[in-house]
A = this chain, B = another copy of it.
Amino acid sequence: MSHVESDVSRVVEPAELGSGSAVLAFDVGGTDIKSALFDVDGTALGLRRTPTPEPGADLPERLIARLLELAAQLREEHPDVVPAAVGLVVPGIVDEVAGIGVFASNMGWRDAPIRALAEEAFGLPVAFDHDVRTGGWAEHVLGGARPYPDSIVLIIGTGIAGALLLGGKPFTAGGYAGEVGHSPVADEPVCACGARGCLEAIASAGAIARRYAEQSGERVDGAKEVIERAAAGDEIAARVWNEALDALALSLAQLTAVVAPQAIVIAGGLSRAGGALFDELRARLAARLSFHRIPDLVPAQLRGNAGILGAALRAREIA
């Protein structure tokens, strides 16, 4: 198995997941799969990243076969840890009630009965859910959203995704809620999704780097470098970063007016761009509102492991 990157150092402490059943957990992304076996103390055993199979017509079947291989390897390494259930989270539009992967552009599937396929293959109950919503759930149970019954978790990285937690529970709308990244905030530019003026096309880390490169003719190593160049006086970088902050503040103001969460928890690469992000967003959000109840803006705590921790939580709920 190529490109196996051990990642145990970035898992939260076992006590944070807490004790419960042993479970297998998989966080499947467009590029790689995170897999681990969680023991009864909540320790992630053998946590690793491996490449996701190439997209194609039979990806659901090939993906499940890959997950079975990963599980067999984990079981072999830890023969005394016997999982009682599987947690499996994937990107795209996910109907977690029906167990269907409705659509995922980077996986290429439509209406794939992934939970049924996985249950048949594993012979275990499978908790199947959406990667971002499950990560939001983990932030709610274990991380930055813990104090707040009503919160929105935003992941700002290559793209922008969101999860609504209302009344202490995920609000999913059949898998369609929380697409903050593809909520339009302007009339341009055209977004990869086909709509125009999506927040993601202006304010994601990916968009910040791309827009700077387009406007300056210079390649940069991600949004972090654009922010550094802006701080150093680069006018193009300053404009791109300023437009991203304005678009984010506008979107946060809309979420505040309509959903009125007690907190907006920000995760993903851009959330680690430094304190400047949170201070800037707080000031710009306040400037866009009047009588509204301004939410706390707080950093996520689980970093890249929210998805797999959420998958483990979901698996324990059915174990």
Which of A32-40, A178-186, A228-236, A266-274 forms contacts with chain B? A178-186
User: A239 at the A/B interface (Cβ < 8 Å)?
Assistant: no
Contact with B along A143-165 (1 / 0, CB 8 A): 00000001000000000001010
Q: Which of A185, A254, A262 has the most CB of B within 10 A?
A: A254
Q: A194-B290, A290-B193 are in contact. Are A259 and B182 (CB under 8 A)?
A: no
Please give, as numbers and ranges, the residues of chain B lying within 8 Å of A177 by CB-CB distance.
Answer: 258-260
Q: How far is the CB of A203 from chain B (nearest CB, A)?
A: 14
User: A122 at the A/B interface (Cβ < 8 Å)?
Assistant: no
User: A173 at the A/B interface (Cβ < 8 Å)?
Assistant: yes
Asked if B260 and A176 sit within 8 Å, CB to CB, the answer is yes
Asked if B166 and A291 sit within 8 Å, CB to CB, the answer is no
User: A223 at the A/B interface (Cβ < 8 Å)?
Assistant: no
Please give, as numbers and ranges, the residues of chain B lying within 8 Å of A89 by CB-CB distance.
Answer: none
Please give, as numbers and ranges, the residues of chain B lying within 8 Å of A103 by CB-CB distance.
Answer: 291
Chain B: which residue is nearest A246 at the CB level? B187
Please give, as numbers and ranges, the residues of chain B lying within 8 Å of A164 by CB-CB distance.
Answer: 258-259
What's the tally of chain A residues with a CB closer than 8 Å to chain B? 41
User: A196 at the A/B interface (Cβ < 8 Å)?
Assistant: yes
Q: A103-B291, A195-B289 are in contact. Are A173 and B260 (CB under 8 A)?
A: yes
User: A174 at the A/B interface (Cβ < 8 Å)?
Assistant: yes
Please give, as numbers and ranges, the residues of chain B lying within 8 Å of A291 by CB-CB distance.
Answer: 93, 103, 105, 182, 193-194
* Chain A positions 88-140 with a Cβ under 8 Å from a chain B Cβ: 93, 103, 105
Q: A195-B290, A291-B193, A292-B176 are in contact. Are A257 and B93 (CB under 8 A)?
A: no
Q: How far is the CB of A219 from chain B (nearest CB, A)?
A: 28
Q: How far is the CB of A300 from chain B (nearest CB, A)?
A: 19
Please give, as numbers and ranges, the residues of chain B lying within 8 Å of A293 by CB-CB distance.
Answer: 173-174, 176
User: A171 at the A/B interface (Cβ < 8 Å)?
Assistant: yes
User: A298 at the A/B interface (Cβ < 8 Å)?
Assistant: no
User: Which residue of the partner chain, among B183, B250, B262, B289, contacts A258 with CB atoms under 8 Å?
Assistant: B183
- Complex Cα spacing A174 to B293, Å: 10
Q: A195-B288, A195-B290, A293-B174 are in contact. Are A257 and B166 (CB under 8 A)?
A: no
A173-B260, A184-B288, A258-B259 known, 8 other contacts, Cβ within 8 Å: A93-B291, A166-B171, A167-B171, A173-B262, A177-B259, A177-B260, A182-B291, A255-B258
7 tightest A-B CB contacts, nearest first = A176-B260, A183-B257, A173-B260, A194-B290, A177-B260, A179-B257, A195-B290
Chain A residues in contact with chain B, CB under 8 A?
A: 93, 103, 105, 150, 162, 164, 166-167, 171, 173-174, 176-180, 182-185, 191, 193-196, 250, 253-255, 257-262, 288-293
